[in-house]
Amino acid sequence: MDHTAARPAPDGPVTVGVGPVGRDEVLRVARYGAAVELAAESVTAMAVSHARIRELAADPKPVYGVSTGFGALATRHIPPELRTRLQRSLIRSHAAGSGPEVEPEVVRALMLLRLSTLATGRTGVRPELARAYADLLAAGLTPVVYEYGSLGCSGDLAPLAHVALAVMGEGRVRTADGEILDAADALARHGLGPVVLGEKEGLALINGTDGMLGQLVLALADLEHLLRLADVAAAMSVEGQLGTDRVFAADLQALRPHPGQAAAAANMRRLLADSAIVASHRGADCARVQDAYSLRCAPQVAGAARDTLAHARTVAERELASAVDNPVVTLDGRVESNGNFHGAPVAYVLDFLAIAAADVASMSERRTDRFLDVARNHGLPAFLADDPGVDSGHMIAQYTQAAIVSELKRLANPASTDSIPSSAMQEDHVSMGWAAARKLRRSVDGLTRVLAIEILTAARGIDLRAPLSPAPATAAVIAALRESVPGPGADRYLAPEIAAAVRLAATGALVAAAESITGPLD
């Protein structure tokens, strides 16, 4: 799913220093192809910690990752003449991914985040290694990474190893225009050379949560947009189904002071302002006491999702400020083993967001279904068809929604509750955070499609309420949709219309149309 048009393109390179990169910087590099440069302070910090690694490499006392094997093989002392081979072998053996190719934006995100950790000076690598990552990003060369190979602990091992392999001049990369090349040829074409890894450097390149964190940052950006879109869709359904906006009043929402709920309700009030359709049944003669839950409780569900997103954002900010490696070079020069590579904090919120996405989509599908049922749609034709019986209208569009929602419910099953021991029981509890991230990306895609179909259906329902006019904000959304999708009429080939609505939903065009009237939505 391409969400790129929903946010502005980058201007200028992103500078990586000893401090954390921000979420916006991750998006600029990962999604929009911004280049990267190293701050002078990070070069100094890396040089200092690398000197400490060189001291330890000369010490006869074994140091994990410097002069020993890895994982369950950490008991073997490696002599100096084999250490370059040790690091090279580590990357080659760990580049064991399989399955479909991972999206370039995910790979660029994990590259930037690994570079950010290297730049802290806490990993002990040479500045030249960090520059090699920055050069790869600047050249638009994206290593080919595969779906399977990370358990979310000891780092996103296989994905990160495939990136490190490319820096060594091995494996394959994609160019900025999508061409796949052998890494050695791609480096040469851009005037770059392969890196020969020294003590600890191979380990430092693969021992992080960068893959799952990068996908969390991308998902946060997409879900922030999609929750505004969910408010737009819900407002259109309330309007098209002759619902009331009184339940969204600020004083009623304040009785339950969840901030996300307040924001969602405020959005819906603004979206429904000055709606002639809503005003048409606001009088004392209206016999309806209250709307169905999928209409009345929309702010409570979308609001809970917002609050979940806020928690996930906090976790992401903490993780972005982390230097994840094992062992790590401390500020006072010690080299210490630790467990900071365990992905549990990130894995939990990735799973939590998949739950929220499934529930928002589930409510959206229920609102769509109400439009199509003559027993519940308050005077609209069956399935919004032009000639019900001859035409089927949006009957099967709801089937498509239902199929996606069912998939989202399966994807809401948490990955982080699973663990498979590995490395001869040395790594006996893992987070499965990478798996949680991969399924969240599918959840984001599914939620986009479900909301797009609701808006497509709601627009048709609102059009059928003519001559009553919708709110200016929802009218603007319908006008944006009508540039690509015709209004009500006899049955047409529906898949292209759904695809057009999905594209407008993903790129932010529908939210932008609403915001042209309301101003920025919360």
Sole residue written with tokens 């911004």: 34
13-42 core/surface letters (b: 16 or more CB in 10 A; e: else): ebebbbebbebebbbbbbbebbbbebeeeb
Is position 425 within any domain? no
pLDDT higher than 60, residue 5: no
Q: What is the mean pLDDT of residues 8-12?
A: 64
Together in a domain, 72 and 183: yes
- What are the tens digits of pLDDT across the range 424-441? 777 888 898 999 999 999
Statement to judge: residues 88 and 161 lie in one domain: yes
> Which residue carries 């946010």 as its tokens?
7
Task: Give domain status of residue 369, yes or no.
Answer: yes
Neighbours of 131 (CB within 10 A): 20
Domain-located, residue 168 = yes
- Given 208, 241, 270, the domain boundary residue is 208
- The answer to whether residue 61 sits within a structural domain is yes
Q: How far is CA 396 from CA 368, 369, 383, 403, 491, in A?
A: 11, 10, 9, 10, 11
User: Between residues 311 and 58, which one has the greater pLDDT?
Assistant: 311
**How many Å apart are CA 116 and CA 200, to the nearest integer?**
17
Domain count of the chain? 2
Q: 14-16 and 36-38 as β-strands: parallel, antiparallel, unpaired? A: parallel
Has residue 471 been placed in a domain?
yes
User: Are 107 and 143 contacting, i.e. CB atoms less than 8 angstroms apart?
Assistant: yes
Mean pLDDT of the residues in the chain = 94
168 and 299 belong to one structural domain: no
SS3 179: coil
Task: With respect to residue 25, please indicate whether it lies within any of the assigned structural domains.
Answer: yes
Residue 522 C-beta-side C-alpha neighbours within 13 Å: 18
Question: Where among 208, 228, 256 does a domain terminate?
Answer: 208
Range(s) of the domain holding residue 101: 4-208
Length of the chain: 522
User: CB–CB of 389/469 below 8 Å?
Assistant: no
Per residue in 335-380, pLDDT (tens digit) is 888 988 899 999 999 999 999 999 999 999 999 999 999 999 999 9
Residue 229 sits in the same domain as residue 148: no
The domain that contains 451 carries what CATH number?
1.20.200.10
Q: Which of 208, 232, 249 is the last residue of a domain?
A: 208
| pLDDT value at 6 more than 60 | no
Q: What is the dihedral of CA 63, 66, 70, 72, to 10 degrees?
A: -10
Whether 243 and 154 map to the same domain: the answer is no
Looking at 177-186, 232-241, 289-298, 512-521, which range is the least confident one?
Answer: 289-298
Is residue 426 included in any domain, yes or no? no
Q: How confident is the model at residue 253 (pLDDT cuts 50, 70, 90)?
A: very high
- Of 10, 4, 64, 54, residue with least CA distance to 34: 10
Read off the CATH number of the domain in which 80 is found: 1.10.275.10
pLDDT computed for residue 285 by the predictor:
66
Percent of the chain whose pLDDT exceeds 70: 97
Question: 8 and 205 in contact (C-beta within 8 Å)?
Answer: no
> Is the per-residue pLDDT at 146 higher than 90?
yes
Residue pLDDT, tens place only, 100-143: 999 999 999 999 999 999 999 999 999 999 999 999 999 999 99
Q: How many CA atoms lie within 13 A of 52 on its CB side?
A: 21
pTM here is 0.94
The DSSP secondary-structure symbol of 384 reads G
111 and 238 within one domain: no
Other Cβ atoms less than 10 A from the Cβ of 154: the count is 25
What is the reported pLDDT for 424?
Answer: 78
H helical segments located in 139-255:
157-167, 183-189, 201-206, 210-240, 250-253
Cβ count within 10 A of residue 76: 11
Query: Residue 331 domain-assigned?
Result: no
- The whole-number pLDDT of residue 72 equals 67
- Report the C-alpha gap between 141 and 181 in whole angstroms: 9
In whole angstroms, what is the distance from residue 157 CA to residue 207 CA?
A: 7
Residues 409 and 473 in one domain: yes
Same domain, 179 and 146: yes
Specify whether 153 is located in the same domain as 273. Answer: no
Tell me the mean pLDDT in the region 400-408: 98
Identify whether residues 187 and 138 lie together within a single domain: yes
> CA 334: distance to chain centroid?
36
Q: How confident is the model at residue 68 (pLDDT cuts 50, 70, 90)?
A: confident
- 237 and 162 in a common domain: no
User: What CA–CA distance (Å, rounded) separates 494 from 490?
Assistant: 11
Contact 128, 134 (CB under 8 A): no
**Residues classed as catalytic:** 64
* Cα end-to-end distance, the chain, whole Å: 23
Residues 6+ apart with CB under 8 A from 375: none
Instruction: Tell me: pLDDT of 330 over 60.
Output: yes
Question: Is the same domain home to 22 and 147?
Answer: yes
Rounded-to-integer distance, Cα 155 and Cα 175, Å: 26
